[in-house]
Chains A and B, each alone.
Chain A
Amino acid sequence: MYPILVLSVTGLVTLFLGFLKSKKILLPASLLFVAIAFLSNFIDWNAPGLYFYDMLEATNLSIIFSSIILLSAFLVMALSKGFLDDEHAQPAEYFAILQFSLVGAIMMTNFQNLIMLFVGVEILSVSMYILTGSDKRNIRGNEAALKYFLMGSFATGIMLFGMAMLYGANYTFNISDARILLLQPVTDVRPVFLYVGVTFLLIGLLFKVSAAPFHFWTPDVYEGAPTIFTTFMSTVVKTAGFAAIYRILEVSFSPMYNFWWVMIVTMAILSLFISNITAIAQQSFKRMLAFSSISHAGYMLLAVVGLNNKSGDSIVFYSLAYALATISAFGVLMIVSKDRLVDGRPNENIAVLNGLSKKSPFLAVVLAISMLSLAGIPLTAGFWGKFYVFTDAASRGHIWVLVIAIMMSAVGIYYYFKPIIAAYMKEGEGENIRLSAFYKIILGLTTAGSILLGLFPDLIRELL
């Protein structure tokens, strides 16, 4: 809960810092602000409670979700030094918007009232629309921002409609009260309102995490947005979206499992099929990662399909593993593609990674481990992430879902290895890449995190 206060204030402070002549202060200041927010997050640790007239609830799970969001944001910001070199960029505004968007993301992890969920989703989404189009001279970026905005506002509208229906059914926005009503044997609840409400609400949220069939915006937006914001989108927005989906279903609608699991399982399987099959044909690394992001939404939905008291932990672990690997992968892409221009834009094809192992062995290792983690190969965090969501799905007896998911992860290995093969087994042009120590530390951290969680997965699960 405290990070919301901290980040609202520091976001404003960052805007004012933009008036300073030297832009150098912005990055360290923003990192410091996020770090403070991260620490303030733990004030509520082991002290769950409701805040602001039952609008928000802090629980250990929501704190962990917020921490993952803040950690990812910290790492992404740390990689954003490129802003400061770009004369057209407005770093103060970017950093401020990123901090505001985090406020929305954190609201999504600990809302107690549907209104707060809506406010959170909107704060996060509007920030993302702006950041997607932040590179004004890039026509792809403008297209992406417009597309994201149009489709995103439809999705939000549908979600809001769902919330109104739910209010009509339950006469309350409070998610715990709604559950009590659901559990009563004979109620006043109007089932049509309830069912339509839940469906629409979920559609809105599933759009945000880019689950199929609401994924059509993802490849274009991921490709069009500046890479740094793509990274932010695929980690922070996804984690927040899943925190919200899990929270609403676990706290409020778990008695209706038999109603919504069919919808969730269909979307999970659709996401897995569409994304993995399409990703095979991608030439652009960024588009491939966009489809990979859809597929990971599918895997995380499996934890929701197997909703039990452990599946929150599974989503936490998966989000963290996915965030670490994704930040590494996009970080490498950002550094490698920066100086390799095609038509004035950074070259983001997989071929740009050719011969990376000779040009920068460190980046090649970072890339390889992140790809192995995304593919879910043992020794990396991604394996246990998949393992946990698979066991969740199996715990409800859906073995056939498990079989499909596993076939699709075999397909995933195929395309996740393309960058590794490019980096290690192909000859590339261009000179050696010099890395600043700062990038090395950040990418070293994400890579070490992937390996450490791969060897000792209990490090995170012990916390919960």
Chain B
Amino acid sequence: MLALTLILIPLIGSLVLFLLKGSSGSSSKNTALVASLATLAVAIYAFTTFSPQSTIGVKYSWMKDLNINFHISIDGISLLLVLLTAFLVPLIITSTFKHTYKNHASFYALILLAETALMGVFMARDIFLFYFFYEAALIPVYFIAALWGGKDAPRITFKMFVYTIFGSLFMLVALVYLYMKGASAEIDQLAITAKLLSPNAQNLLFWAFFIAFAIKMPVLPFHTWQPDAYSESPTPATMLLSGLLSKMGVYGLIRIMLPLAPVGVSNWGQFGMVLSIIGLIYGSIIAIQQNNIKRLIAYSSFAHMGLMAAGVLSGNINGIQGALLQMVAHGVNAVGLFFIVKIIYDRTGTRDLTALGGITQKTPALSIYFMIIMLGSVALPLTNGFVGEFLLLKGLYDKNVWLGGLAGLTIILGAVYMLRLMQRSMFGESNDITAKFKDVSGSEVAVLLPIAAVVLIMGLFPNVFLKITEPAVNSILQMMK
């Protein structure tokens, strides 16, 4: 029941907003915030009562004659991502409080609809239910990005939509194929079926899954939709895309690809890792040269996702655990960074790094938050990025020394572009544009403070999270054997 409430609360909130439109902007905001906070409360309750032995979940028959079920359940991996979603959505909603969007009711309803679908993705245990939510998550975000985005948004977001749907159709073929072979739609059962398939079929399955999830994350060479989409979308949509939707790709790799194409992973995983690591270096180098701060963070996201993909493909416990922790860390940091970009843009009207500078003198508070989140992003010890990145690199190193070494460049390159961003925007002399920079206040602090707190807490006590996911990761590795 608990699992079902996580899906139902945002769904009901979204329906209420869709039906009761016309009320004032603040009432829409409050309704959305209340619904998302209620979801967070349920998620925290699930977290406090969680034990790896007991499974929280429900299973209803969805299509009886085809043996397809509405089966959701929470294990450690699901719980971590459910917590991430439940934590980020209220922050994303709060981050919009200073701005009144036109058609506000629909705007917030779509955000809650995206949360519903994300919860479904992270809890689904039936492959078709997973696919259903996986696609359903994209639709509201596409509409937010296209309808409330910049001038070029319809074209760019449409590219994103077609690109990602095209990718997931490959996954659909693979899922239908597995379902035909295994006569079941349960992931756990199909993992057994998958072992009986020929290596050739396994390789094809690997590619079908890899392309689908690689487009979503994105991983080189499927990333061309991402920088434009991130920078043209309105900030809440960018936050949803980078903080949560990209995580569906990594989650899919762990939950779907590893158990359902184990032989394919061992045959082709190394190739995927090479692609991911090339993407990681390539993304970092472009990020170093960016002057548009939103694009800079978009490319840094691309680089981080590459590292996570490589970690999962390494197929050992350190790589996967690291990827899981990094998913949470990157989700939180990306939302924080995009929010700071929004604050800067709202006050100065520019995202150009060369036009900024000296903001620290006007608002020390903002630069402290920025510093904390930035350090989390460059993976300084005692921040949330460190443990994840360390485990990821260890996993890669165990798999292949050379790849581990190359991926290690991320530490240096990440520091270069993040410190450059910090230094050029925050420090130095203030100029005409930044001279009248107002201090952060009210709802802005309400977003930045929790994020900064989580950056530090996760950095200090990573074991809280690693302990939850470990049994679930082990059972997935067991399935692969």
Contacts and interface: CB of A to CB of B under 8 A. Distances in A.
B180 interface: yes
Contacts of B173: 390, 399, 402-403, 406
Contacts of A461: 63-65
Given A410-B165, A425-B146, A458 B62 contact: yes
Contact of A390 (B135, B147, B153, B172): B172
A458 B170 CA distance: 25
Interface in B178-232: 179-180
B154 A421 contact: yes
B139 A391 contact: no
Interface stretch (A3-11, A145-153, A293-301, A372-380): A372-380
B162 interface: yes
A403 to B, nearest CB: 6
B139 A372 contact: yes
Q: Interface SS of chain B: helix, strand, loop or mixed?
A: helix
Contacts of A259: none
B169 A458 contact: no
A377 B139 contact: yes
Interface in B122-158: 128, 131-133, 135-136, 139, 143, 146-147, 153-154, 158
B477 to A, nearest CB: 29
B177 A399 contact: yes
* Most chain B beta-carbon neighbours within 10 Å: one of A390, A409, A425: A425
A417 B161 contact: yes
Contacts of B131: 378
Contacts of A458: 61-64
B64 A402 contact: no
Contact of B179 (A310, A391, A424, A456): A391
Contacts of A438: none
B114 to A, nearest CB: 12
A421 B65 contact: no
Contacts of B169: 406-407, 409-410
A86 interface: no
A378 B179 CA distance: 18
Interface in A390-435: 390-391, 394-395, 399, 402-403, 406-407, 409-410, 413-414, 417, 421, 424-425
Contact of B180 (A372, A391, A406, A421): A391
A213 interface: no
B176 interface: yes
A424 B147 contact: yes
A457 interface: yes
Interface string B376-393: 000000000000000000
A87 interface: no
A462 interface: yes
Contacts of A387: 128, 172, 176
Contact of A402 (B135, B154, B176): B176
Interface in B24-69: 61-66
B166 interface: yes
Contacts of B161: 413, 417
A309 to B, nearest CB: 10
B162 A378 contact: no
Contacts of A313: 65
Contacts of A406: 169-170, 172-173
Given A399-B173, A457-B63, A410 B162 contact: yes
A421 B158 contact: yes
A387 B132 CA distance: 11
Nearest to A457: B63
Nearest to A417: B158
Interface string A433-464: 00000000000000000000000111001100
A378 B146 contact: no
Contacts of A399: 173, 177
Given A379-B139, A391-B179, A410-B169, A425 B154 contact: yes
Contacts of A377: 135, 139, 165
A378 B64 contact: no
Given A391-B179, A425-B154, A461-B63, A379 B172 contact: no
B147 A425 contact: yes
Contact of A462 (B64, B136, B153, B158): B64
Contacts of A383: 132, 135
Contacts of A372: 139
A45 to B, nearest CB: 19
Given A378-B135, A413-B165, A394 B158 contact: no
A371 B154 CA distance: 17
Contacts of B63: 457-458, 461
Contacts of A310: 65
A431 to B, nearest CB: 20
Contact of A395 (B132, B136, B153, B180): B180
Contacts of B153: 425
A331 B284 CA distance: 51
A410 B161 CA distance: 10
* Most chain B beta-carbon neighbours within 10 Å: one of A372, A395, A458: A458
Interface in B287-340: none
A399 B147 CA distance: 38
Contacts of B154: 421, 425
A413 B65 CA distance: 29
Contacts of A456: 62
Nearest to B147: A424
Contacts of B132: 378-379, 383
Nearest to B18: A365
B166 A410 contact: yes
Nearest to B165: A413
Nearest to B172: A406
A402 B180 CA distance: 13
A183 B147 CA distance: 60
A399 B172 CA distance: 12
17 contacts: A313-B65, A377-B165, A378-B133, A378-B136, A379-B132, A379-B136, A383-B132, A390-B176, A391-B180, A395-B180, A403-B173, A406-B169, A410-B166, A414-B162, A424-B143, A425-B153, A457-B62
Interface of B: 61-66, 128, 131-133, 135-136, 139, 143, 146-147, 153-154, 158, 161-162, 165-166, 169-170, 172-173, 176-177, 179-180
7 smallest CB-CB distances across A and B, nearest first, come from A378-B135, A425-B154, A410-B166, A406-B169, A378-B132, A394-B180, A394-B176
Given A399-B173, A461-B64, 6 more contacts: A378-B131, A383-B135, A387-B176, A394-B176, A402-B173, A410-B162
